[in-house]
Structure 1
Amino acid sequence: MLYKHSRHSILTLLITSALYGAPAITGAEDAITIYSSAQPGSISPSSYRPVPGRHIGNYNIPGYAVIKSTQQYKLSEGLNRVEVNNVAALIDPTTVSFMSLTDPEAHVVEQNYQFDLVSQQKLLQRYLGRNITVEQELGNDTNIIKGKLVSAMGGLVLEDERGNVYSINSYRNIKFPSLPGGLRTRPTLVWDLKANKGGKHDIELSYQTEGVTWWSDYNIAYSEEDKCQLDLSAWVSIINQSGTSYENAKLKLIAGDVNRAKAPSAIRSSQVMYEKAAMADSTGFEEKSFFEYHLYTLGRPATLPDNSTKQLELFPSVNAINCDKELVFDASNHYGFSGLNTNQNYGQKSEGDVNVYLRFNNSEDNNMGIPLPAGRIRVNQKDSDGSMEFIGEDIIDHTPKDEDVLIKVGNSFDIKGERTQTDYRVNTKSRTMSESFEITLSNHKTENVQVVIREKLYRWSQWEIKSNSHEFSKQDARHIHFNVNVPASGELKVNYTVNYRW
């Protein structure tokens, strides 16, 4: 049957749904503890910031969260059906824990996780053989076709009450009388639970969900006007792509390597939005040891919208941290140890840059003493015009208090190095080997510089320095250091000979 309407009619998809089960009579009180399995600095901004023309987020968020939610339900004595439809879409149903704070003996008899979500294609499949209404544009008018849906393959085929058959390849809208049973507008936990007494029950639900992670970022303002000093600020970024939002939740972050049994990965997509939040010191994160990890608890409720990234201050900025700038020439670093090596051509000559590091001690005496979660650390320095310029970044691992933090900033422009083999002898009968090197450092600066020459003794494990032009220190079973002063606009040569025996 055909009807005509103005093209300016408001056309909508109408779905009527009847819910069953005991509804919640109060809003949820949420608490969320987030665990990260991401490698420090590994999360690309493309995983959480919007991309023009696309609405796809990251497929695999490296982390998870434990959600605890308390809601009040009205239950009857005996068997009840309870629907919880505000759970995360990426919930692991096997981790669900139920507890009635009102009736501790109440328990779940059966649990179903229903995630067959509504879509146009699923509605059409469910309405095969049933009546629907299709709205189709014809010029300035809209034709309405009512009839039984015969097919939804490659278009729609309808049969009206007179037996006329319509093949519809394009349409403006479809009207369904009601929502078929079994389809959900959002993922839902359905419980059959037994209560020993009726009335209002405070029910605590906890579960694990994927699609949530966190990481830390550090920003340093470096100064060498009087001496090497740093100002350090720290931020926490949180991604929530779990499929639900958490309103005014108690937020906790776990820092440490928590072991989990490996599970197959799932492919997911989501839309994203970006949010940044600052906070007052009095409501910041409180840190404490927890088991063999560190726990950071936010001092105020936090809202984590679905498909969002939030940034929070990890701790207030720390100023005047004493540091050391270290220049290191490590031309032998890329030569590996794989057993006895008597190949004379191995490591004969190499040129390299002099690496620049910043080191500071994470102690209370140095205005720190704060456990630092792993993350990316960016270094900036103030120019003479007052602007802050980026000079390098590095990744730090979880760093407890009283440990050193070492940051590789970059390579020196004005200092170069060269490493040359000057002698090599091997005697297979006596099982001995001797090798000599000359290391040349060139300084194009107008002031003297201190440089650490780091040498790896990679040919065999039993070695002895036979001769050396400068003092050295043994660092471990494979490395020695020469700490030398290179003159301004000049060069310095270091020579040594190492004997190996096997």
Structure 2
Amino acid sequence: MKNFLTLLATVWLTGTALGQFYVTVYNNDLALVKERREVQLGSGRTSYRFENVPGKIDPTSVHLADITNPGNVTILEQNYEYDLVSEEKLLERYLGKEITIVTKEEKQFTGTLLALSNNIILKDDLGKIFIVKQDGIRNILFPSLPEGLVIRPSLFWLLEVGKAGKDKLEISYLTNGISWEAKYVAVADKEDKRLSFDGWVTVNNNCGMSFPEAHLKLVAGEPHIVKARPPRGVLMEYAKTTAAEPQFTEEAFFEYHLYTLERPATILDNQIKELSLFPTANVEVKKIYTFEAARDSKVRTELEFKNSKEAGLGIPLPHGKVRVYKEDSEGMLQFIGEDEIDHTPKDEKVTVYVGNAFDLVGERTRKDFKSLGDRGSEETISIKLRNHKREQVEIQVLERLWGDWMITSSTHRYEKKDANTLRFVVSVLPDREEEIVYTVRSKW
């Protein structure tokens, strides 16, 4: 049933005019909102209703300050009112009170509401009882809005005001329902030597409120929050365009990085807004093939670049998804893979796993094993690498070893990367196979 509710009285509202917004958005479904409004205040003890707040506000985080006269206003009591008007709540509040019902046949019944379920039962002034089926109702008229119901979430304050006047108040609070994430678009050149690299910001607002002409800041990092809030993800399609000039300025802030949009932006409720984070960068990149049998039986393909000015970038990169494209023989962009990168400071390496190499094959076999008592062993490992490409390739082989180990023999040069990792780098000619054979002695 769809009823149209008519209120016969207006609702008292104060301070409903929207002010100036400053919105700082975090990665983890959290935002700090500051709003400045000019308000006519009377001196002494006064009440004030602050409307147009998000439905997902954390009322315990609210802070109020008088910008015009610092210290002029003190909050004595605060109430967060979120019992919103609905058909069901209006009918519940009017049990035992008089309402008017208009049916689809234009018949009108006025009386005291006795019960509501599938039907509405009224008693008129003469004591007659009327039962009206809900699917036959066109309108329900209520004399006024019951006390305690509000049309939007509101803060109600009891204030102590030192000096009367028109002051600018700043209210700040935390709210859930707003998050942001970075997304990157990379286009590899023909030789896979350079990437055209774009950064985008996606702001997702479903907090229950819009923020017109807001001053927007984004925090990249992981502030500790007592209650975990899962991040929300959205998708962005890629069109082959060039990102605009910088819209954000970046600065180090505490243990995080702060990105400030250089112009106001309207952030509507239930809206996903996308903004260019930085202009297109042309980045020097290296393609790496990796075979790690303990992790995967395939040969992984990764693109690696250094986030430095010398390589063509050199700015802090927020955590986000990287989608990689490449032009085919007809000049059409094709999607070749995606990965996520962590928060990456400047001058650090970025590695993007784009997929597995179709024409490269790795095979690991244990050729021999000897037990050296209860706390030791010796084994011989064979790793075969086959290249079905038309060009020579270099493949990195990573082996995971445990305990106190030592290589006693090897057909190829190797590097001990750390306590548990053995690394080979092998060149394989087109349509050829290369075999690594090594023996390792381990104690534990």
TM-score calculated relative to the size of structure 1: 0.83
Using the alignment, how far apart are the partners of 1:164 and 1:404 within structure 2? 82
User: Are residues 1:285 and 2:285 paired?
Assistant: no
Tell me the secondary structure at the aligned position of residue 106 of structure 2: strand
Q: What is the correspondence of 1:283-432 to structure 2 with a 5 Å cutoff?
A: 284-319=247-282, 321-333=283-295, 352-428=297-373, 431-432=375-376
Rounded to whole Å, the distance in 2 between the matches of 1:108 and 1:188 is 15
More strand by share: 2
Q: Which residue of 1 aligns with 2:112?
A: 148
Match of 1:487 among 419, 423, 429: 429
Q: Which amino acid in structure 2 is aligned with residue 371 of structure 1?
A: P
How far is 1:255 from its partner? 0.2
Match of 1:128, SS state, is coil
2:201 equivalent in structure 1: 236
1:476 aligns with 2:438: no
Distance 1:17 1:374 in 2: 52
Is the CA contact (8 Å cut-off) linking 2:177 and 2:206 kept in structure 1? yes
Q: Is the 8 A contact 2:6 2:139 kept in 1?
A: no
Matched, 1:208 2:174: yes
- SS of 2:293's equivalent in the other structure is coil
Distance 1:332 1:23, change over 3 A: closer
Deviations 1:271-304 (A, max 9, x none): x9x999x999566011110011000000000111
Q: Distance in 2 between matches of 1:21 and 1:332?
A: 66
Asked if the contact 2:307/2:346 (under 8 Å) is kept, the reply is yes
Corresponding residue for residue 157 of structure 2 = 191
Distance 2:246 2:37 in 1: 25
Q: In the alignment, what sits opposite 1:496?
A: 438
Which residue does the alignment assign to 1:136? 103
CA distance in 1, matches of 2:21, 2:261: 13
**Cα pair 2:246 2:276 within 8 Å, conserved:** no
In the other structure, the counterpart of 1:446 is: 390
Query: What is the deviation of 1:102?
Result: 2.3
Show CA shifts across 1:361-384 (max 9, x none). Answer: 100011100100000000000111
Please report how far the alpha carbon of residue 152 of structure 1 lies from its aligned counterpart in structure 2 after TM superposition: 1.2
TM-superposed deviation, 1:495: 0.2
Q: 2:57 aligns with which of 59, 76, 91?
A: 91
Shift in Å, 1:19: 4.1
Asked if 2 retains the 8 angstrom alpha-carbon contact of 1:287 and 1:295, the reply is yes
Q: 1:332 offset after TM fit, Å? A: 2.1
| Whole-Å separation in 2 of the counterparts to 1:397 and 1:288 | 18
Distance 1:218 1:282, change over 3 A: closer
How far apart are residue 103 of structure 1 and its match? 2.6
User: Are residue 126 (structure 1) and residue 93 (structure 2) matched?
Assistant: yes
Tell me: CA distance 1:275–1:153, structure 2 relative to 1, closer, same or farther (3 Å). Answer: farther
Corresponding letter in the other structure for 1:478: N
Deviation at 1:94, TM superposition (A): 0.7
**Which residue does 1:40 correspond to in 2?**
none
- After the TM superposition, which of the residue ranges 406-415 and 420-429 deviates more from structure 2? 420-429
TM-score by length of 2: 0.93
Paired residues for 1:220-231 under 5 Å: 220-225=186-191, 228-231=193-196
Give aligned-pair identity as a percent: 40
Q: Within 1, Cα distance between the matches of 2:391 and 2:22?
A: 57
Pair 1:23–1:322, CA change in 2 (3 A): closer
Deviation of residue 317 (structure 1)? 1.0
Corresponding residue number in structure 2 for 1:258:
223
Report the CA distance shift for 1:280/1:448 in structure 2 as closer, same or farther (over 3 A): closer
What is the distance in 2 between the residues matched to 1:417 and 1:279? Answer: 39
Which residue of 120, 136, 142 corresponds with 1:176? 142
CA distance in 2 between counterparts of 1:119 and 1:154 reads 17
Q: What displacement does 1:20 show? A: 4.0
- Note the C-alpha offset of 1:307: 1.2
2:128 matched to which residue of 1? Answer: 164
Flag the 1:134–1:20 CA change in 2: closer, same or farther, 3 A: closer
What is the Cα deviation at residue 154 of structure 1? 3.0
In the alignment, the residues of structure 1 paired with residue 242 and residue 193 of structure 2 have an alpha-carbon distance, to the nearest angstrom, of: 30
Q: Deviations over 1:222-254 (max 9, x none)?
A: 0133x6110001111111111111110100000
